[in-house]
Structure 1
């Protein structure tokens, strides 16, 4: 009888003892979280195992709002959401981000320890649970911010990026609370992606390249050539070039008669490579083609990563109903209306030492038969030295000298050797005018605009970084017709007449159209096909270095 009473007592009391132990452990974890966060001095980062938490303020706000209750464990055991967040941190490599920036190595170490504890029937150390708790939350807040705003601050770059960022950012503390309540980490993080379909397509390209990298056994030592190789030519690098094009699927496997000879089968593969990479498909193995063939899967992952970061910098307003988009690296302008590309044209952009800036501004008017008011720098560095050598230069170029109020000045009255030049040089309207017959104005501090050009043959070049910074357009008459389509009377004939006047004609648009000059050396098209372009201004490397930190 006594034995039965003792057994019944143990059955009733022992579970309460265990429950009290669990509650005590949970209380200990909460106390440790609170103490750890409260002892941090303002402005100083919290450190876990020599790793600084970058979002101490957000972490404190998040935990204080939940009475310092743990988010990633329950009863001393990691939750499924903790595993889901670790998975999302790992997946951030497909966003071009570095998972180690979100403490992945240390998080993995804690997970491994807890897995061993589970196998051995050992309880997890509350202090270790607290450390992992804070690491996971910091990882979430950092990753959320980087997915929405980008990791790199474009204002800190050597090059210009003056497109306004997103006007608002999410409340990441509230987002984490909602994610925990709904049991949805991935879906809520995905809501922070840029609202452009090319972003998700770009992620899939990086995923595919990563799989390609895993099967890669080639040497990617750069191929170097002294001169362009054409069909029938022989070179020791031909076998390597053939092997790389076969690796990427631009051509099939075959046995060449002479491995070192540039044969017809390789020619077809080179043309396909050139087409897919925005080059002139002439089949010639020149400098640009060889540079592209030298890119390994890891190189292309890096380039794609840089451009996903650039997409994260863009405001969602880029998706507005009507936009003129100029991708400098692609030498192309697209006019997009209601998500449809209505007009697309080749453009000429700034030379490497006169790079076209990255910015946005509203287009408000057109100027037909424009004067070219020559910028002071061009006048000083190019025009005036030419006049000193050739007194007839101004008349030959249909140029004149005027005061800043527009009054004509006799060039013979000017001492061209004088360092002071209180005048303006401008080129009269006409077919030889450097701005061509029309210019499209979106006033900005760079004095950059889109314009026609008399130098039509330059559009046939593959590398069209040739201007002083302005954007020269191949099909300006067609573009003008589209922009003026909501203004009755602007027929093709009237536009032609306006383009051939002897004096300027300013036409204000009925609405302002956002013009965005971007610099994208990679994107994925509607078919998911990767498109890579030359980094003509050498800007990718700086961003990639910062991304990989």
Structure 2
């Protein structure tokens, strides 16, 4: 009996112990499987996509200023990081490029098991620093410097220490850290708002409108109904109050909607649907979103270059704005470089102006434009008051020139009403020999797309702008300027102090309501930029 009891007791213990072992094994297996969902080998960390010197130094500095053992071990902190990473979608950035899917699994693991593997801490730090860096400097900064030339006296110093200090101070306020990293400019806030609205309202795709003769007011055409539907989808027409909204008649309401669309897409506003308007109507929703993304990136690049007192040349808009103490005090149209002679992007300092300038014809213009014209018309030079000089400064007569090889000569236009540079040139240091100037070709300012020059910037109202540059000058300096201008002779007059000039290229801009104006990408810069911004890893 004793033996039987002992045996029964032993069997019960064995059964219970077996049950404990099986349960423990299952729990252990579950934990292993939970980890395996995230990473097969917990000690084998994912390779970081960014190995630039800037990022590696930032990672090292951040590690030196934080406690590795406690970093990212608070679920609330990691959850806050994930929430902020997901807001990057409204910045035109992809959360998956900042380990968002992996960090969500890491958070689940941390919440369940109370621990976070070192590899996940490394991913969180990488995501945090790269997100702040991409917001502050631009995503493409890590791969290739922005295509903008900086004068030595305005050169930027992008120091990883500044980024890391902001990152460390923001560990307990992720929302504040991301907000501080974002550009604080009105341009960026407005375009980010417009992008968020566009992502919500634009459909995934729309049917391409067929080509055909130009449509205008009064026309009856099957395509009119398609245009009406497209403009309704894009918000240029009110929601249909009546059943015949798909009318094939090109009526007053549709003409006004077309004009509104044309104004928002930098087209000639005539209310007609010709080839250019049709082409813009057929740009896909995805292409529009990508266009906005490219310009959000440009604004991140240039956020710290937007000085409070600044002459801003918006190349794609062919427009110039002058800001003093953060307020826009003047705005005017510009003519900028043709695609083959693009106006460069740069930041420099305006130091002086030339009144009654001579114009020395650039070699490229002489060979491509003037020389063929001279061969056709011998009076071409004299009609334009252009004189010929050799390298020693000796003037030549036209009949003394060997026109089969005139490359050693300089062609210079005298000051006067017909001078290609007008009455004033605004000068600043740069390696491209470009400047801002007046122009006698005023009629070209009426065009919506003013890409006519050989790289320099022609300014409508150049004299008004010049007087504003001298607004803070002493009475003596103003008198010097006015006397030089009245003399008819060429003179350089220095500004009382330097003024920053930024020449930049944006193909999309939004107002305070997030309403976006699009511009043609004349220089073809959007696509290469988007390629640099492309996701570095496939979304998991």
Map 1:496-511 to 2 at 5 A.
502-511=488-497
Tell me which residue corresponds to 2:68.
68
Match of 2:259 among 271, 275, 281: 271
CA contact (8 A) 1:361 1:515 kept: yes
Q: How far is 1:357 from its partner? A: 0.4
Q: 1:257 to 1:200 in 2, by over 3 A?
A: closer
Q: How far is 1:354 from its partner? A: 0.8
Tell me which residue corresponds to 1:463.
449
TM-score, normalised via structure 1 length: 0.80
SS at match of 2:503: strand
Deviations for 1:57-114, whole angstroms, at most 9, x for unmatched residues?
644554455453141225xxxx111011111111111111121111122223444566
Q: 1:85 to 1:540 in 2, by over 3 A?
A: same
Match of 2:295 among 307, 323, 346: 307
TM-score, normalised via structure 2 length: 0.82
Deviations for 1:181-228, whole angstroms, at most 9, x for unmatched residues?
xx2112012212223122222222222122214xx36x4244353553
- For the pair 1:396 / 2:383, whether they are aligned, the reply is yes
Tell me which residue corresponds to 2:313.
326
Q: 1:508 to 1:68 in 2, by over 3 A?
A: closer
Tell me which residue corresponds to 2:158.
168
Gaps of 5+ in 2: 1-30, 36-41, 536-540
Deviations for 1:34-75, whole angstroms, at most 9, x for unmatched residues?
xx99xxxxxxxx842x7657556644554455453141225x
Q: 1:539 to 1:185 in 2, by over 3 A?
A: same
Map 1:98-137 to 2 at 5 A.
98-112=94-108, 118=112, 123=113, 129-137=117-125
- For the pair 1:83 / 2:79, whether they are aligned, the reply is yes
Tell me which residue corresponds to 2:16.
none
Q: How far is 1:478 from its partner? A: 1.4
CA contact (8 A) 1:430 1:437 kept: yes
Q: Decide which moves more: 187-196 or 469-478.
A: 187-196
- For the pair 1:238 / 2:224, whether they are aligned, the reply is yes
Q: 1:287 to 1:112 in 2, by over 3 A?
A: farther
- For the pair 1:228 / 2:214, whether they are aligned, the reply is yes
CA contact (8 A) 2:426 2:436 kept: yes
Quick one: distance in 1 between partners of 2:478 and 2:62?
62
Q: 1:177 to 1:232 in 2, by over 3 A?
A: same
Tell me which residue corresponds to 1:341.
328
CA contact (8 A) 1:350 1:467 kept: yes
CA contact (8 A) 1:73 1:82 kept: yes
Q: 1:343 to 1:176 in 2, by over 3 A?
A: closer
Q: Decide which moves more: 433-442 or 383-392.
A: 383-392
CA contact (8 A) 1:345 1:474 kept: yes
Q: How far is 1:277 from its partner? A: 3.5
Q: 1:405 to 1:478 in 2, by over 3 A?
A: farther
Gaps of 5+ in 1: 1-24, 30-35, 38-45
SS at match of 1:243: helix
Tell me which residue corresponds to 2:200.
211
CA contact (8 A) 1:63 1:69 kept: no
Quick one: distance in 1 between partners of 2:81 and 2:157?
27
Quick one: distance in 2 between partners of 1:170 and 1:326?
30
Q: How far is 1:442 from its partner? A: 1.4
Quick one: distance in 2 between partners of 1:155 and 1:411?
52
Quick one: distance in 1 between partners of 2:414 and 2:374?
17
SS at match of 1:346: strand
Quick one: distance in 2 between partners of 1:408 and 1:371?
15
Tell me which residue corresponds to 1:195.
184
Q: How far is 1:234 from its partner? A: 4.4
CA contact (8 A) 2:389 2:410 kept: yes
CA contact (8 A) 1:277 1:531 kept: yes
Q: How far is 1:135 from its partner? A: 1.4
- For the pair 1:475 / 2:461, whether they are aligned, the reply is yes
- Equivalenced residues, count: 488
